[in-house]
Structure formats: C-alpha cells, structure tokens
Structure 1
C-alpha cells in the first residue's frame, strides 16, 4: 500500500501508480466543514498532473453526510462548497467518488460534481435540505436533473428521502454499485477508468431532459400540499433552471437558496432539527439503564394496542394483558391490523410482520407479568383503576421491574404510592395512535430512580420516538398547556366565532388540524371526562371557560368521529359543520347574556397563540419542562404544531416578550382571572431576553 500524506487534520492523499486517492476523515459524518473544503482544494492542487485518475472516498461509517452543524448560524469561511465543487468538476483529470453509508446534502452534491459515482452496496443518497427550509445550494438542483431527469430529481429534492443504491443506479444518479471497503473500491474503480471499463464525463456537459409541464404540475402540487411552505416552491424554481447552461442555473439556485435563508421558516425548521436531538441531550437521559428484553402492556384498547404495536415493530417481545377474552381478541386484531398497515406502507416486510406477531403473547392473567422487565399500564383514565392495578403489580412483578403508567393527566406520585417501590415507577405518556405518533412524555415521579428515568429515554430511542422529560403536574407539559389554551376556543366561540372559523384560521396559520377537529378525532368524551374530574377535584374554578358548549355536545353522545357526529358531521367522509352545534352555542350565549361579536382570523390566531405561549412560559418557569425547547418538541411531535414555526416558544421569540405582555394586559381587561402575565415573560420583556437565551443556559 502506498504511503499517505496528510493535507490537514481531515484530508489525506495517497497514490498507487496513476491513481491518486483522496480520503476524507472528519468524524462522525465527514461533514463538509471548512477544513474539508480547503483540504479538497489543496489535495487537488498537490496531486497536480502526477495522476491520471483521482478517486475521493471517506473513512469511517459513511461518505459525506451533510454540512458541518458547527457552522450553522455562522458566517461560512472560504472556500465555499459551490466553489470547491466547481473546481473539482472543471478538473482535466477524471475525478470519481466512492459512496458508502450515506451521501446526503453537500455530500451528494460533492459526488454529483465528480465525473463518475460508485456506490458501495447498502449506500443511500439524498438531498434533505427542504426539511430544514432550504434547498440544495451547491449544484444539487442543477446536476441531479442532468443525470437522472426531472421526475426523479424533483421527488428526491422535495421529499428529502434517502434513495437506496440500487434505485440510484437505475435512475442514473450513480454509475456502478460494488462491494468492498471504500479504499479498495476506490482503487479498483479508478483502475477501471484507466482501463476504459468505467466511463467518466462532466455533469455540466450533459443536457437535462427538460419538460415544462412536469415543472408546472409539480409547482402546483407543492403549493396545494404545503401552502405555508416557501422552500418547496423555491426548490422547484431552482430545478426549473436546469435547462440553462450550468453557470446560469447555479446563479438561479444560489438566489433561491438566499431567498430561503432569509425566511423565518428556515430558522424554525432548523430549531426543530436541533431540538429533536436536544431533548435527550440531558443528564437524566444518560447513565445506567435497566433491561428491556420483555415488556408487559396492560390494556388492549386503542392506546394499549398502539403501544404494543410500537414495541413489536422495534423487536421487543410483549405480553398483552386484558381482563376478558373479547377485549383480548379485539386487541390482537387491532395489533395485527396495525402491522398489516405497516407492511402496506412499506415500513416493514411481511416476514418482519410475522416475526413481530410471533413475539406477542396475549394473556388474561396479570400474574403472567412476573418475568417482564417493564410494564406499561394503558387502561381507562381513572385514578381508582390505576391505583388498583399498581397495587397488584407490586406483588406480581419481579424485583427491579419498571412500572409505568400511560396516563395523560393523573398524578404519577399518587399511583406510585400504591407500591412498595415508588423508585421503580414513572409515567410514559404515549400519544395516539401510539405506533405512529413520535412523542413520548417521560414523567419523573418524586422518587423515580435515575436508572429508571434513563431507561425511559432508552425505550424512546429504541421505539424511534422523541422522548421529552416532564415533571408531575395535572397534564404534564402538553396536556397542561392544552388545558389552558383550549379554554380560548370556548371563549372565542361563545363570544362570536364559529368552531369552523376558529379551525380554519388556525389551519391557515399552519396547524395540521383545527382544535375542534382535533377534539372530534380524539373523542369529545375524553375531554368531557377530564373536565368532570377537574371540577370534582376543584382544579377548574373558572366557570366562564368551563367547557359549557363542549359538555353539552358530549352529553348528547356526540363524541366526534367515533360516533359520526361532534362539532362536525362525518357522513360525507369529510368534516361538515354540525348545524345542531350552532343551536347549542346560541342557547349557551342566551343563558349567559353574551352578545356575539366578530373576530378576524388574525385576532383568533393572536389570542389562541398568546394563551398557548402564556401557559408554556409558566411550565418552563415552574420547572415542569426543563427548557423551552422541550415544550417546542412536545408540540411539534404531539400536537400538530407547524414544524416550520419551530414550536410555540420559538414562535414566541418572533413576536417578542414585550408584545406578548402588551397583548395579555389588553385581554385582561375582558377577563383578568384568565389573562395573567407569567412572571418569566414579564422579566424577559424587561431585560430583552428570549426563550432561545434560556435554551442556551439550559
């Protein structure tokens, strides 16, 4: 093997005869940081004319997998990636790239700028910039269409998906698929270039198979599918320039990239990207964990079946417990249906589905939980029932087994008191449907042991969920905030807005679904039961927002989608406003002596979001959530908050604390009991700080 020469800390070169090998070694993902960019130029210059072929490959587990996250938000140092790639493409000596692991973003753009691409079996390629509110800014929108055509390129760029090597080969994005170690493949492929067995060409010299109709239809499609988002539109505009000479197309791409960089959406999506990783980057999520070799789930209803499905898909055996054979059969049928759905969506193979079902052990005997490592109780949201179950589990489960409650609101400490081992108890609040929704609130009880808490985060990771730490209070993070701002829905409806207007305004703001549609989807009986519980416990003294309209709808047996009737009717397959709800609203207004007023969509959004932000600030203030970013991730992954807005507290920073205080004080003139300025928000308004500052401190 020829001796290698270090260009800098991350780039080295070696030469075997007429083949020069450039190795990128910038762990963990060989990101295109400044040292990599400069090193590539220096390596090309040092090789000069001493070789007849140059092969670029990477050390470690992957090819270049994107930009250097350390440079995010900073002014990039020269040379720029587009300049580096243009120089590589202009090389008179053929340059090939060898892809293993993943070639993502700038990594794929590097490969596209070389004169041939070889993928090692198992490799994947992708351009995920749209997921960050951006677009490929180093030639991806111009070079990929020249190699692979418009339909494939638009699909890859607009979806951000990772394309397997076989598909990439079929579409012309790579020229060959081989097996072996990256350096060995790089040398062999380069030698094939010398032997005329692997052809090379400059991508810029190719002509894209351009179709204006494809561009037009795709642009209309993205505007319809994501009317709020800017970057998909800019992606299409950039790709549309691929019929120009490369230099002109790159100028269009650069301007589209700059347009995206200057939008608040880019900041929101990048906040979401980093936030997803930040929530588990806390001391509580680290350290020793307990085994998760077998899990018990109590309850075969919607939640229990979803939790079981999620565990089985992650390869964890589950013992499912129900009290009656009918319920057990129904649960097994639901789990089977869930797994069949995963197969039909391409999430798992039929063989893996069969293997997952083989790991399911249905039982009517709670005693069968004696050997499991973790029990997740997922029964009716009644404290008495949960206390009874945990009392039994205390006598049945082995020493060291973790006892978890999938409660949405209830006091985990009171549940833990029913056992002789409160240190083994925690809350694991899954969101429905549990096998689809990615949020998992991990609720720390007063006596929860550190390794139990760390195991909760380990479970979230294994289930591919976003685990967020929460402290005990009524509703934890998400439902506590929801319980507060949902009262604004009642306020708006009683004072003059219709449920449909509220939903429409908030959907135009970017929510996946308006709050009344969400209520219908979740089941209006759930909110009704919780309001009754709160009234019994004296937790909801504000009768003005006590859910009068929602209670009367539920008392008629209209629970939403499950009964075909709620705020909306569902006979037509799509929600249509229920005219009888309007009658109920009029009756309640008359009883309370309310004269309806009109609201603009902007006023609806302002009140709704200000209420959400107010309670979210209090949740951070009293420590229920560790940091503002934890609140943001709860709402992005559990409540359909628009990802491009980053979360409620990231969005709050775009409004500013001073303006939020002004709004709350103005609304307080109508209802001083409900509208109260959180002390944290008042302090931020006074000293000019932001929730982003609190995240940095955290």
Structure 2
C-alpha cells in the first residue's frame, strides 16, 4: 500500500481546525507538504466556522524537519528556486500573524523545521519524552524557518545558542521547564488539550503570544552581547573550519539588535547562501553516504532476513577484544570472552568493566543499564560455552598461524549456523580460513579502536562468504550502533589500505627536512583530529613496525621506507603507551612536542639521504596538505578501480568514521572531486618526477583526469562484491 503523503484539515463541532502533516516515517517537510500547509492555513483563516487551529503530525510524530532530499537536488543543479518559501510566507504571515489562535500538538519529535513550525504557534502542548531540537548546523546550514529568532525568545539566549551551535536536542520535560513547551500531558490527551488551549486563547482565557514579538527572555543588549561573545569562542573551538556556526551567531545578533522580523529576513538570506556552500555539500553528502551503506547488491535485495544473534563469543581480551565485548554487551547481547590463561582473562574482564564504568562516570550510561550489561558477560578459558553461540569474533594478535588454528578449532565446537568472524586488519581472510571446511561462514568484522566508541564496522567479504552471513553481520552492526560498510578482501581492506600512504608521506616530508611538528599542525588545521605523527604515537610505533612488512609485500612498488620508526623504538619511544614518542605524555596535561626527538629525526634524514643537495625543502602549508593527502586519494582510486567498495560514497563514510577525515569535506573521494581529479593528477605527476614512484598517479586517476570525469563517477559498477 502506498504511503499517504499530504496535509489534511478537519474542522470539529467545537470550531477547531486540526491540520495534520502526513509524510512517513517522520513527517518531513517536503515541498508538497509546505504547499499543503500554506493552502490549509489560508483556508482555516478564511473560514467562518473555524475559531482556532491545531497543528499536529500523523502517527505520533509532529515533524522531523525539512526534507533533506531537497538539499541534494539543489546541490546537483545549483538551483535555489527548488527551495520553497517558508520563513516569511508560511511561518510569519500565515501562522504566527494569524488572527486565529494556533496551538502545536507535539508528540514523538519536533526537530529542525518541525520545531520551527511549533515555535511559530501561539502555544505548544506536548507528550512526555518528545524530542525537540534544531540540528541544522550538522548539515552545514542554519535554521531557516525562523528558529534562530524564536528559540532565544522562548528559552533564553544562552540556552538557545547552546542548543543550536551544538545541535543538542532536549526532551519535552526539559522544554517545559525552559518555557518552550506550555503543557505536558499524556499522549492520549495531547490533541484534546491542544484544542481546548486554542479555544481558551480565542476566548481570552489564555494569552495570545507571538514568539517573535517577545523580549522578556533576551535580557539587556550588553548581557546578550556577552553571551554571544562566549558563543563565538565556542564556535571557534568546535568548528574552526565551518562557516555555519559563526553565520548563525551573526543572524541571532541581527534579531537582538534590530528586532525579530529583521532577524528572520537575515536568516532566510544566510540560509540560502549556506545551502550552496562546500561545507553543506560535504555534510549532506556524508548524510546520504551513511544511508546508502545499508544497500548491498545481492545481499539486501534478494529476500533474505537477518537471523537473530543473541550470544557471541569473543576470543582475545586485549584492547580490541574487550572493546568489541563492551559494544555487544551495551546492546543486550550475551558475551563469552575467551582467553588463554587466567591472568589474561582477568585483564580482559577488568578492561570490559572499566569501559562500562567509564561510560557511567561520564554520564553516558545509567548504573542500572551498566549492571544489566555486565550480567550478560562471562569469561572462559576453553570452548565449552561455544556450542550454542550464534557468532564468534576472533580478536587476537596478527599472527596467521594462530588465527588459522583458532578457526580450525572453533569450526569443530560451534554449531553449523554459527558465524565465524575475524577482527583482522591486515591478513587475507582466505588465508585465515584455509584450514576450515566452512569458508562460506567466515567473514571479517573489522572494528576500529576503541571498539565500543568508534562507529565504523568494516564487514569484509571473501569470495566464499555467503550473503546470509553478510546480512546477519550488518544487522549486528546496526544493533550495536555501528555503521556497517561491506568491503572486499584485500590487505588493509578499505580504510587502512586507503590511508597507509598518510603516515608514509609524512615520513617522506620529515626526511626531506620539513619540521614534523609543523606537519601535524598543518594537517590538524585542515581538519583531521590528529596529525600523522600524533596518530603514530597514539597507536603505538610497534604496530607500525609490525604491519609495515605486510603492506610492503603487496604494495611495495609505491611505499616509502623510513628508518624513523625503528630508531624511535630503539630509543625506548613507543608513543602514548609508554609516555614518550614524538610527543611527551604526562598525566593531566596535553601532549607536548618533545624537542629531544629531533636528534632521531636528524639520524633518519642522514640514513635516507633524500634532501635535494642535502638541504631541507621549502614547502607551503598547502603543499604539505597535498603531499600527504594526494597519495591517500591515489590509493583510494586503486580501491575504487579494484571494486573493493560497492560505491565511492562507501569509501567516503568509511574515511570519515574510520580515520576521522573531516565530515564537512565530504569524505576522501568527495573532497578529491571538489579539488579536481585533473589538478590532483598533475600535482602527483610532478611530485613523482621529483621524488619517485611513491607519488606515481594510478591508472584510475589518470583515466579520470584525462577524460574529465569525477572519481566518484561510475561508467558501470566495478564492485566485485
């Protein structure tokens, strides 16, 4: 049955017109809905039998906000006329300035444009636990239907700027305390109470309040400017490279200084400017890229249903294994943690307990939920408990023989339907499952550390993995609040393979004489949370040294070999793990650059001997970004060319969630398309002529540059999944 989309109006015997938004699942404000609202409000205002109006949403949800699909169409066409006129024509003229009182009946959620419509009403009645917020800044824009003006007038300037800048939603209970909600009633009473409230306003028993005209919660101009000064500092801290936060503060200030209506006009103007900004394009792309990961050809479209996964065994209680166990427990999945001896098992159990207690202490988890999670947890030293598990996740050290032996053993003790997953980050799945007879149920479940906090889950499919197993693991990923991205089987899979040149390029630059602390600073200014040397310190340099030969065996034609990591380890520097690497790590203080490491860098420079004429090269910040990130783009091109991912946007979301590539740049491929494949190709070609094969452009990049095609553009599906 087709979904019913539209706006209806019913006029009761009491003279109240109930206008209902219907656009499942969240009653988003698509263009037909906006048109329908204009029509119904005009009708209600003109009819003599209508005394008051109630606005509500169908199926227990008020509205999830403006239809984001419209942004996508605008970005593809550049046509701003696709954006409907809402702020003045609908919200101000037809709603707020209506002669007939209007009450919002809010259930479920009122987010973005949904909350903005509710704030234009003359009162708001809500059910408990309704979600209220203005999350527009997460998409690179500002509230566009008057939210920057009405929210400060309803909840106060400090709270409003906090909610908008941080895209923080609140409950209807908190909304009532703040003055955003006028009455909180049981779900079954929301509509009847709203009708009565609207009639009470019409009959003069309750005040007829227009939010935009209120000033009682704004305070004096000097107080407002002090709050906005703090807001600007917050914006600088949380979004140094994004325009929407500062633009939002300017718009709020316009309304405070020159009046609410002036602020509304300024808001509408700035909103349209921001819709076409690179930031909005990047963030909207990431939003849709994440959605697209749930569609996997020949897996999600062949009528299969995921099987229930109620009990999981995790082998290995180290940093990764304990994190995976924590993530499962937090989603009420029973976990059996296996280790090789009592000492390691106790360490693993304590790590899981510490993870959960840490969430409680940070207010992310209640004590009751923590207790429930830990009640589902059991540590073991043998495979007895494995007979009834639905899935095993192996998370031991990267040792081929050890992993092969584990899979050979668990195949014997687990049921035939049990999924056999490995958390390997570097070893070929076919090699891991070589000694088993159950190759169709062997799959990669590559989590990112810390596994209970990082949201990406790479699901690695070998040539034998069944569609059912992939679907089951996708369902588990979603259940434990991860974003599952299905990738092909190769060394490094999608994320680690794409980003292996990141650290190597940084080492090359350092060996060419560029200050390593400057490199980190430039890359963090670009938007990554950690520069390459900071990242090496965080991961531990022993890992880099161990993984290097595995990558060299397969990708040796395009690797830069630097002795710097080995020299660091020889001098007792393993990064954050032991308190010293390129930076010094002291408890209670931020990492500080360690000047004494420069002697190690100098030794590395002498050994590599690649500085032209023995002198450091001179490079701009822009050149540093290009020399470090263009090789990453180049490897991303190979990943696309080999069909390791289903679509380019999968690599974008994986780069954002797995490597913290700035989301406002849209992911690694989207960013590269923004810069231009031709420019990247020409820069890499010149760099390869000067510095060798590390920078040599890939076939895919060359083909795209010559033919004037985007990297994300697909002639036909290359995916081998």
Q: Where on the TM-score scale, by shorter chain, does this alignment land: which range?
A: over 0.9
Counterpart Cα distance in 1 of 2:218 and 2:394: 57
1:213 paired residue number: 226
Cα drift, residue 340 of structure 1: 1.4
1:570 paired residue number: 585
Matches within 5 A, 1:164-175: 164-175=171-182
The reply to whether residue 368 of structure 1 matches residue 385 of structure 2 is yes
| TM-score computed with the length of structure 1 as normaliser | 0.95
| TM-score computed with the length of structure 2 as normaliser | 0.92
The reply to whether residue 28 of structure 1 matches residue 25 of structure 2 is yes
Q: Which moved more, 1:577-586 or 1:655-664?
A: 577-586
Matches within 5 A, 1:161-310: 161-181=168-188, 183-191=191-199, 193=201, 199-207=207-215, 208-210=217-219, 211-243=224-256, 244-283=258-297, 286=300, 287-310=304-327
Q: Is the CA contact 2:299–2:471 (under 8 Å) kept in the aligned structure 1?
A: yes
Q: Is the CA contact 1:127–1:161 (under 8 Å) kept in the aligned structure 2?
A: yes
Q: Which moved more, 1:398-407 or 1:287-296?
A: 287-296
Counterpart Cα distance in 2 of 1:33 and 1:130: 19
Distance 1:344 1:16, change over 3 A: farther
Secondary structure of 2:695 counterpart: coil
Secondary structure of 1:91 counterpart: coil
Counterpart Cα distance in 2 of 1:651 and 1:302: 32
Residue by residue, what CA displacement relative to the aligned partner does 1:34-54 show, whole Å, maximum 9, x if unpaired? 221121121122222322211
Distance 1:561 1:284, change over 3 A: farther
Residue by residue, what CA displacement relative to the aligned partner does 1:214-257 show, whole Å, maximum 9, x if unpaired? 11111122113322121111121112223232221112222332
1:69 paired residue number: 68
Distance 1:685 1:647, change over 3 A: same
Distance 1:502 1:309, change over 3 A: same
Secondary structure of 1:125 counterpart: strand
Counterpart Cα distance in 1 of 2:709 and 2:558: 35
1:88 paired residue number: 95
Counterpart Cα distance in 1 of 2:330 and 2:97: 48
Q: Which moved more, 1:594-603 or 1:102-111?
A: 594-603
Secondary structure of 2:264 counterpart: helix
Secondary structure of 1:342 counterpart: helix
The reply to whether residue 137 of structure 1 matches residue 151 of structure 2 is no
Cα drift, residue 130 of structure 1: 0.6
Cα drift, residue 196 of structure 1: 6.2
The reply to whether residue 607 of structure 1 matches residue 613 of structure 2 is no
Q: Is the CA contact 2:279–2:664 (under 8 Å) kept in the aligned structure 1?
A: yes
The reply to whether residue 44 of structure 1 matches residue 41 of structure 2 is yes
Cα drift, residue 696 of structure 1: 10
Cα drift, residue 695 of structure 1: 10
Q: Is the CA contact 2:500–2:632 (under 8 Å) kept in the aligned structure 1?
A: no
Distance 1:296 1:61, change over 3 A: farther
Cα drift, residue 197 of structure 1: 6.3
Counterpart Cα distance in 2 of 1:672 and 1:295: 48
Distance 1:381 1:195, change over 3 A: farther
Q: Is the CA contact 1:429–1:441 (under 8 Å) kept in the aligned structure 2?
A: yes
Cα drift, residue 290 of structure 1: 2.5
Distance 1:623 1:78, change over 3 A: closer
Q: Which moved more, 1:608-617 or 1:665-674?
A: 665-674
Distance 1:127 1:695, change over 3 A: farther
Q: Which moved more, 1:121-130 or 1:209-218?
A: 209-218
Q: Is the CA contact 1:103–1:125 (under 8 Å) kept in the aligned structure 2?
A: yes
What are the ranges of 5 or more consecutive residues in structure 2 without an aligned counterpart? 75-80
The reply to whether residue 519 of structure 1 matches residue 536 of structure 2 is yes
Of residues 652, 675, 687, the one that matches 1:655 is 675
Counterpart Cα distance in 1 of 2:379 and 2:270: 55
The reply to whether residue 547 of structure 1 matches residue 546 of structure 2 is no
Secondary structure of 1:615 counterpart: helix
Cα drift, residue 554 of structure 1: 2.4
2:78 paired residue number: none
1:483 paired residue number: 500
Matches within 5 A, 1:209-608: 209-210=218-219, 211-243=224-256, 244-283=258-297, 286=300, 287-534=304-551, 538-539=553-554, 541=556, 545-571=560-586, 573-594=589-610, 595=614, 596-608=616-628
Paired residue total: 690
CA RMSD of aligned residues (A): 2.1
